[in-house]
């Protein structure tokens, strides 16, 4: 195996995939070469095409190969509500988990001056336009519960408050199925303070 320069280069290139070390990369390369040449060629072509054609939706910045994504184009989605998320993966998780039928805005990150991520990089000028558009009634801020995610949520809340909009954030609390003894103190204190009527 180690004698093939091209094979070694393929193994090295596969390590760009998340969670793939040398051993898995070798297994993947040999699997494709030994058993799945046709599907491997298809994967290479799909990967090149997707990286070439998929960009950000002009309205919500979600990933799409069209100018405007299908959620933004869909008449079945409620145009009076926008849910702001950090990433396409978060959008996908919400789509799967909730019955939300409004629209989205994807930041592709969170405010992080240390990493050079400011309002411009997150497309907040575009978000500002959408917040000012007639017909919008509700903004749901669904950033992650990290320090930077919270700071971003705070910033977005200020932006949204300039308009006559209902602004909400995801509820914090004890995760369903979580055991109290394993939950971090901050979350537990918050859940206790915000307890709801049984």
User: Which residues sit at the interface with Zn ion, rule CB under 5 A?
Assistant: 57, 59-60, 62, 69, 72
50-69 mask for its own copies (x: CB under 8 A)?
A: xxxxx-------xxxx---x
Q: Which of 79, 87, 150, 155 binds its own copies (CB under 8 A)?
A: 87
d(CA 81, CA 102): 5
Residue spans of beta strands (DSSP E) within the chain? 55-56, 63-64, 78-85, 102-106, 138-142, 166-169
Beta bridge partners of 138: 81, 166
Tell me the site size for its own copies, rule CB under 8 A.
57
Candidate residues 21, 22, 37, 154; the one interacting with its own copies per rule CB under 8 A? 37
Which partner from the list Zn ion, its own copies, none does 180 bind, CB cut-off 5 to 8 Å by kind?
Answer: none
CA atoms within 13 A on the CB side of 84: 29
When CB distances are held under 5 to 8 angstroms depending on the partner's kind, the choice from its own copies, Zn ion, none that residue 7 binds is its own copies
By CB under 8 A, is residue 34 in contact with its own copies?
A: yes
- Quick one: which segment of 21-29, 141-149, 154-162, 169-177 binds its own copies (CB under 8 A)? 21-29
- Residue 59 contacts which entry, Zn ion, its own copies, none (Cβ below 5-8 A, type-dependent): Zn ion
Share of the chain residues as helix, strand and coil, in percent rounded to the nearest 5: 45, 15, 40
Supply angle C-alpha 12, 49, 16, rounded to 5: 20
For its own copies, the closer CB: 9 or 154: 9
Given CA atoms 168, 169, 173, 175 in this order, what sign does their dihedral have?
positive
Residues 6 or more apart in contact with residue 172 via CB below 8 angstroms: 145, 187, 190, 191, 194
Sequence-distant (≥ 6) Cβ neighbours of residue 10 within 8 angstroms: 29
Q: Which stretch binds its own copies (CB under 8 A): 5-13, 120-128, 143-151, 187-195?
A: 5-13
Map residue 104 onto helix, strand or coil: strand
2 binds its own copies, rule: CB under 8 A: yes
Q: Does 142 engage in binding with its own copies (CB under 8 A)? A: no
Binding site for its own copies (CB under 8 A): 1-7, 9-10, 13-14, 16-19, 24, 26-34, 36-37, 39-54, 62-65, 69-71, 87-89, 91-92, 95, 108
């Amino acid at each position: 195996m180690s004698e093939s320069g091209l094979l070694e280069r393929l193994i090295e290139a596969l390590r760009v995939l998340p969670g793939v070390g040398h051993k898995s990369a070798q297994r993947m390369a040999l699997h494709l070469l030994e058993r799945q040449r046709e599907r491997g060629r298809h994967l290479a072509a799909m990967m090149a095409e997707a990286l070439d054609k998929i960009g950000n939706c002009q309205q919500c910045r979600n990933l799409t190969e069209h100018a405007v994504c299908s959620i933004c184009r869909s008449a079945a989605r409620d145009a009076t509500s926008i849910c702001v998320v950090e990433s396409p993966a978060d959008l996908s998780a919400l789509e799967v988990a909730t019955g939300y039928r409004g629209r989205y805005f994807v930041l592709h990150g969170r405010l992080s001056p240390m990493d050079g991520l400011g309002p411009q990089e997150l497309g907040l000028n575009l978000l500002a336009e959408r917040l000012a558009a007639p017909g919008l009634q509700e903004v749901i801020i669904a950033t992650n519960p990290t320090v930077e995610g919270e700071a971003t949520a705070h910033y977005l809340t200020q932006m949204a408050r300039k308009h006559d909009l209902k602004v909400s954030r995801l509820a914090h609390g004890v995760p369903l199925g979580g055991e109290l003894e394993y939950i971090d103190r901050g979350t537990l204190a918050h859940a206790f303070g915000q307890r709801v009527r049984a």
